[in-house]
């Protein structure tokens, strides 16, 4: 009887573990669906919905890794699946959205910029996977693909929100797409936010700033989101320049 109860408990634990492993992969699947939805909506000329779907994919992509770490369900399968989903949601989807919105009318220049972005996302993800064990967790080397996707999607979102014609903004769209593709494969340092511990107490100012950000986001989501990711994109130049200046000012250690 005791052995039977023990076997039943072990079976229940196996089912529970299988369910926990399913949770982060379900979030990854949801992020993948959001990226696919963005592509479909761009083909239907609903570019605001496509841009929002990319933002949703970015949020879900941030959640799946945290859930996997909190539940201790990290796996090689999950890591590979996450990368493949990222390539769709943050590589192919943003490039196709902005190409369908504005770059299509530029001929070869348009699809070349879109391809540079897609190739940059693929190279960025490959480099991230190969350097995962040796990289400094506090910093990303090159702009992360979700942030680059949010930059491209944010440009489309703000243009559609303000009624800017695609033809009038085609060169800006071309520049943003090319810029986002190149900074992903650059050696610029971007803060990863992985050092932030949400379990610890935070200053009152941090809470106040969060409330102000959410209030602004509800008032002008397109402007606030695009502005935030433009600032993050430029922060890589500032941080890398500051680190280079520090290295030059630091005297070499005496041998």
Domain ranges of the chain: 2-249
Q: What is the pLDDT of residues 69-118, one digit of tens each?
A: 787 878 888 888 999 999 999 999 999 999 999 999 999 999 999 999 99
Q: Dig out the tokens for 50 from the structure.
A: 């496509």
String of DSSP letters for 185-224: TS--EEE--TT--TTS---HHHHHHHHHHHHHHHH-HHHH
- As a whole number of angstroms, the distance between CA 100 and CA 112 comes to 13
SS3 state of residue 175: helix
Helix extents (H) in 131-200: 145-161, 170-184
Q: Dig out the tokens for 181 from the structure.
A: 């593709």
- Among 59-73, 172-186, 231-245, name the most confident range: 172-186
**Which pLDDT belongs to residue 67?**
83
Helix extents (H) in the chain: 2-43, 47-70, 76-86, 93-101, 108-130, 145-161, 170-184, 204-219, 221-249
Averaged pLDDT for residues 188-194: 87
What CATH code would you report for 2-249? 1.20.120.1760
- Asked whether 97 and 40 are in contact (CB, 8 A), the reply is no
**Which pLDDT belongs to residue 209?**
82
Averaged pLDDT for residues 18-23: 62
More confident residue, 14 or 138: 138
Q: Is the pLDDT of residue 197 over 70?
A: no
Q: What is the pLDDT of residues 217-237, one digit of tens each?
A: 888 999 999 999 999 999 999
More confident residue, 252 or 167: 167
């Amino acid at each position: 009887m005791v052995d039977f109860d023990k076997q039943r408990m072990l079976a229940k634990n196996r089912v529970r573990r299988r369910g926990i492993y399913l949770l982060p992969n379900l979030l990854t699947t949801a992020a993948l669906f959001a990226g696919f939805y963005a592509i479909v909506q761009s083909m239907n000329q609903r570019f605001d919905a496509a841009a929002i779907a990319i933002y949703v994919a970015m949020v879900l992509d941030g959640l799946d890794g945290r859930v996997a770490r909190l539940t201790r369900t990290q796996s090689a399968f999950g890591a590979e699946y996450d990368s493949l989903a990222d390539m769709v949601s943050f590589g192919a989807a943003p490039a196709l959205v902005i190409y369908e919105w504005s770059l299509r009318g530029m001929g070869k220049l348009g699809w070349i910029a879109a391809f540079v972005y897609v190739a940059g996302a693929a190279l960025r993800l490959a480099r991230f996977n190969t350097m995962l064990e040796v990289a400094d967790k506090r910093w990303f080397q090159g702009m992360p693909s979700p942030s680059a996707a949010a930059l491209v999607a944010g440009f489309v979102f703000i243009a559609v929100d303000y009624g800017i014609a695609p033809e009038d903004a085609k060169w800006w769209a071309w520049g943003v797409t090319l810029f986002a593709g190149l900074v992903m494969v650059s050696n610029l340092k971007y803060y990863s936010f992985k050092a932030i511990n949400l379990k610890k107490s935070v200053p009152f100012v941090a809470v106040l700033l969060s409330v102000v950000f959410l209030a602004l986001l509800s008032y002008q989501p397109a402007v606030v989101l695009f502005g935030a990711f433009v600032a993050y994109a430029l922060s890589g130049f500032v941080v890398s320049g500051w680190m280079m200046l520090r290295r030059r000012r630091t005297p070499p250690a005496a041998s």
